Amino acid sequence: MPKRILQGVVVSDKNDKTVVVSVERRFSDPLLKKIVRRSKKYHAHDESNSVKVGDVVKIRECRPMSKLKQWEVFKDEA
């Protein structure tokens, strides 16, 4: 099964080997007929502590590493 990949902005890097990434999605509201924005925060594993607040990163699904962490920061080799 392919792993999901999301892109977002780092909003916190205070934890050791963990960053909080805010991912925004846009969709058309069926009732209002307008584009609305919704954001959600994900805890992601950052082994090297190299990512800082404000960086745009890609995260992908991985095995559960703790109660909140099921995502990891990865480098796109494309």
| pLDDT tens digits for range 18-38 | 999 999 999 999 999 999 999
Q: What is the CATH number of domain 5-74?
A: 2.40.50.140
pTM for the structure as a whole: 0.88
- C-alpha–C-alpha distance, residues 67 and 42, integer Å: 12
- Which residues lie closer than 8 Å to 54 by C-beta, 6 or more apart? 9, 10
By the 8 A CB rule, do 39 and 58 touch?
no
Q: Tell me which residue of 35, 5, 8, 36 sits closest to 20, measured CA to CA.
A: 8
- Give the start-to-end residue ranges of the domains of the chain: 5-74
pLDDT confidence of residue 2: 82
Does the pLDDT of residue 77 top 70, yes or no? Answer: no
- C-alpha–C-alpha distance, residues 6 and 28, integer Å: 19
